[in-house]
Structures are given as C-alpha cells and as structure tokens.
Amino acid sequence: LNGTTNYILTKMDVQGASYADVLDEAQKLGYAEADPTGDVEGFDAAYKITTLATIAFGKRIKFENVYREGITKISPDDMQAANEMGYKIKLIASAELSEDGKADVRVHPMLVPISKSLAHIDYVTNAVSLTGHPVGDVTLSGPGAGEFPTASSVVGDILAIASEIGKTDYLLPMMRCNHHENAEMIPIEETENKYYLSITAQNSLGVIGRIGKACEEHNISLASIVQKEVAGNHAAKITVITEICKEKDMQNVVNIFNNDPAITSVNSLIRVQV
C-alpha cells in the first residue's frame, strides 16, 4: 500500500544497496518526502489499512490498535538471504477477520514467497490482494508514488466527495463511516506466524544446539537453519526459518538470544507470509 517503501526495498534487492543510500536516491527522485518517517515507519500504510479494514469488515478499526513496523532495519544481508531461500521482502499491510469476529490488522515487513503475486510488485507500484466468497483471490495493482499518481488520487477523492454532497438516500461505501461498533482486535502477541531470524554468533560447538533447545522449550519448530562462517573474526551468521508459532513465544526466544553470551547479536526478525 506504499509506493515509497516498495521502491526502496526493490532497489535494495536489485542493487544490493543499503537502506540509507536508496532512501537518498528516492528523495532526489521525488518518491520520498524530505521527512520520510510517515512512509518508511509504516504510518501511511497503517492509515490506509485502517480505512480499508473498517469498510471491509463493517466495524470501526482504531488506528492506535493497528500494529506497525517500518523498513528502516532491513539490511542488504536480509535481502540476500531472502533471495537465496526463495522470498522477496515487502512491507505488507494486512487485515483479516477471524471466524469469531476479531480483527487482525497490522503493518510490517514480510518475506513473501516468490510464488505469490505480491512478490513481483516492484518499484513504486502498489497492490491490493483480496480474498472473498465466492470470488476467491483478486489482486489489483497500479502506481503508488510520484507527483502524478498522488495528484490523481487526491483529485479523484475530491470529485467523489463533491458528487455525493446533498445526497441523503444513498452514499457510496467509501464515502460513509457510520460504524458505531468498534472491532475487537487480536493483539500482536497472540498472532501466529512463520519467522525469519538472523543471528551473529560465535563460531563454536554447541551454538546451533542452544538455538534449537531454546526454540523447543518455547514450542517453536524449525523449518530450516543455515550457518555460514564470517571470514576473519571467528563468527558465524545463522539464518533460521521457523514453522508457524505464536508471536509471544518468538519474542521470548529472542530475549533469550539477546542474553546468551555465545550470541553476538540478533540482527533481524521478520515474519514470513504463508
């Protein structure tokens, strides 16, 4: 839902460049604001998914209850690892209504399998993927950053609002917000995801075993684990993909790793689209 972040992530992927270098380029091209916080920290996408979810679910979604994470911590190493495992990293704004009527609405980076259409939405293009009954899956895409796409969107909204002035019998769904019931939200801690975890650790016996044991003790199964030696400093870069597990369990494991003397740093934790 945000062309600026998609442009940055695509350029990082294609060029192997850092976030800071690509952001500077995006600002010079007019794809990013002088203060890019609203885009790169996920605020813009969060506002959009809040509105879309409210209309789609018929219940009011409060912006402050939408979990939000930006792209500023994504590194070229993450991009390379994702490619090697068959994924692309995208900033995904998602909204899902559970069978018991609770809403899961959030914005954060995800590893998207290259078999998915969203993995191939690049540069300033935006895309919305919908799942409905009985239509199934539908994906709509179009330009999402730059002066002309932005102007077109704003003027289109103004014209749509103007055309509805004075009407009382019927309003377009996108022009009305009369939902009095607030949606019950699923806290991020209770959501379930697969995860990509990047760790730098001592290149010594037992480190992989410590990682596996901590995950096992918190009900987390590992789908894959790859260890690569970092030349010259007796360290290893370890990349983990988990099976589906609870967010709170994953965060507990990360806390354990942050306090493990054999682990130098937890570099990245990114959710994986199933």
Return the closest-CA partner of residue 248 out of 188, 208, 179. 188
* Domain-ending residue, one of 148, 175, 205: 148
| Residue found by looking up tokens 């044991």 in the block | 213
Domain ranges, residue 37: 3-148
Tell whether 35 and 122 lie within a shared domain. Answer: yes
Co-location of 27 and 119 in the same domain: yes
The tens place of each residue's pLDDT in the chain, 274 residues long, gives 898 999 999 999 999 999 999 999 999 988 888 999 999 999 999 999 999 999 888 889 999 999 999 999 999 999 999 999 999 999 999 999 998 999 999 999 999 999 998 999 999 889 998 888 788 888 888 887 677 888 988 998 889 888 877 776 666 666 666 667 889 999 999 999 999 999 999 888 889 999 999 999 999 999 999 999 887 678 899 999 999 999 999 999 999 999 999 999 999 999 999 8
Helix (H) or strand (E) holding 223: strand 222-230
Q: Is residue 21 located within the same domain as residue 128?
A: yes
Looking at the annotation, which residues are catalytic?
48
CA angle 40, 46, 48 (to 5 degrees): 110
Question: What is the model's pTM?
Answer: 0.87
Residues 13 and 143 in one domain: yes
Within a domain: 268 = yes
Same domain? 30 vs 83: yes
| Distance, CA of 195 to CA of 211 (rounded, Å) | 14
Cis check: omega of the bond before 134, within 30 degrees of 0: yes
Q: Are residues 199 and 123 in the same domain?
A: no
How many Å apart are CA 119 and CA 241, to the nearest integer?
18
Q: State which amino acid sits at residue 218.
A: H
- Beta strands 235-242 and 222-230 are antiparallel
Is 167 among the domain residues? no
DSSP assignment letter at 73: T
The CATH number of the domain holding residue 239 is 3.30.70.260
